[in-house]
Chains A and B, each alone.
Chain A
């Protein structure tokens, strides 16, 4: 029998038709939409005079643009309000399930999908957002699409896609203390660069990956796009099934048993081939931080910023431009640099486990006086749980400001902006120029590192704070 990878199994099961010398007509099981990339798609449907073909396969929530304070009131920013209102209108008109502001399951689209159990193994999932790759943690093919494709999915539940190449990245061994899944993925991207997996779909494997919780797996798959990959996935296992059991949309009763039996077959066959295979040793990975303006520019938190030696042409000038933006010099140490803001949130690290780990680190301590510390839960559910577990009290006691769920300072479309020239250490996924506000200087790190920075006010190795 033909040996297949996990990716092949799911992909092949969703091809409605292969266009000769062209892409596949690819069926989408679940479609998430939000307020920013959907309005033009709906507008075009209207212009064509067609509707939404399978409304029950789409789930909506406003997240990118929403304020993170006073969510029970009318949105002040006119343009944001219009986008959210458009989303409401479109959902009502076509019968699409909407998790609106203030409702029990409102939140960042990639946080609520798994939380509701909408995301399940073996599915194909898309959203007009590149971090849709998050859902791959459940053994699903999930990736971001453009607005034209959002329109296609609404109209036909299909898109036209060429099958990407396949890469397997294995991480074997046991992670050291203070090293998290965020460090794993920042480490991998720093090794293969921000374009290193372009054209590929990645399967993450190996004992270090298997040992991770679902939240931690989502962090890894989330950042697949930051190395150019279309998406990343992890074979479902007992951890996956345990997470999904009892979730609102997860199968139950007999259907659960049947589903799990099927999900168990979703793994790469022994001997199946990949176009590219990479291996990493978990023991080489330490807490990471980025120093530049793309997620591939990461180093161990206790290392020095690379020099430009050996670079030339536009490579060198792009590198120096990036350091200049950050206000750093080649070759200097990053440890000890003063920081102004910390941000805990986003679809990368805005889940309950992340908030727990920050709370655990800062318990009984105070944030440094030079730091403004924001915690933005990924969803209402996360927020509720953080209250129930007493985490909010711990964080507020330490001087953190808790905001309401949304994308917030991850992309700074609302008022949560880092001022120009200020340094932010952030649990989000992108350190692009201006990503967290015009002129903002972003360094990406794990929630543990961010917590350590909040306490000391400087770039700090989280292992130094442990136990103190």
Chain B
């Protein structure tokens, strides 16, 4: 489905420095039973966020009102494990539009780009800088400028450029998805398919 355009995002951030966060943590399997895409945000990080009785766990960052915003700053190897796109739906549905990490798992990154959540890969040292700055000053804003492919810590002016391939960038900027592209070349695909 076509999604929201992404051009420039300026927002505070939520820090989650844990490494190797897998998609089973982002959205546990037992919440994958829906046949529609909406509503997964309520169960984002379910077992880290709530105890067995369903009460919020105080020490988990999403339950800490100090932190908020549309950017999730995550630890290394974020999104490893299952291919469930539900993980990204949950992140999106909760209100995040961008995830920053020094290292993303492949399928997760693809899934993000396919539904309009921007994955921004930064150097390990800059990831640490952002995490410590946000921890110290929760009102610190980050700016993500997709056109310039630049991420900036607005409080200090520190920043980095990030990679994204030109095609995916265009899609994000215009809110297009791959199916639009593929449907437009249906006859070329038919010819190819016939040769197999």
Contacts and interface: CB of A to CB of B under 8 A. Distances in A.
Interface stretch (B63-71, B100-108, B144-152, B154-162): B100-108
A420 B54 CA distance: 15
B28 interface: yes
B80 A65 contact: no
Contacts of B57: none
Given A43-B35, A79-B34, A413-B29, A157 B189 contact: yes
B52 A412 contact: no
Interface in A303-331: 313-315, 317-318, 321
A40 B36 contact: yes
B33 A80 contact: yes
Nearest to B1: A44
Contacts of A129: 82-83
A20 B188 CA distance: 17
Nearest to A42: B35
B25 A155 contact: no
Given A43-B36, A148-B114, A432 B25 contact: yes
Contacts of A147: 85-86
Interface in A9-51: 16-17, 19-23, 25, 27, 29, 36-37, 39-40, 43-44, 47-48, 50
Contacts of B47: 433-434, 438
Contacts of A432: 22, 24-25, 81
B56 interface: no
Given A128-B83, A195-B105, A155 B24 contact: no
A27 B186 CA distance: 12
A50 B167 contact: no
B185 A83 contact: no
A21 B183 CA distance: 20
A436 B188 CA distance: 45
A146 interface: yes
A338 interface: no
A412 B47 CA distance: 14
A149 B183 contact: no
Nearest to B3: A148
B57 to A, nearest CB: 13
A317 B29 CA distance: 25
Contacts of A149: 110, 114, 178
A228 B32 contact: no
**Which 6 A-B residue pairings sit nearest by Cβ, starting from the closest?**
A22-B167, A79-B33, A146-B85, A144-B83, A21-B166, A146-B111
Given A79-B33, A294-B20, A162 B165 contact: yes
B181 to A, nearest CB: 7
Nearest to A143: B107
B165 A23 contact: yes
Contact of A21 (B81, B86, B105, B167): B167
A351 interface: no
B8 interface: no
Interface string A129-171: 1100000000000001111110110011111101010000000
11 contacts: A29-B196, A79-B34, A157-B189, A194-B80, A225-B107, A318-B75, A413-B29, A413-B33, A430-B24, A430-B81, A438-B28
Contacts of B49: none
A413 B185 CA distance: 38
Nearest to A57: B193
Interface in B88-113: 88, 103, 105-107, 110-111
Contacts of B129: none
B19 interface: yes
Nearest to B180: A48
A129 B81 CA distance: 10
A47 B115 CA distance: 16
B185 A16 contact: yes
A228 B28 CA distance: 19
Interface string A427-468: 000101111001100000000000000000000000000000
Given A29-B196, A318-B18, A434 B83 contact: no
A312 to B, nearest CB: 11
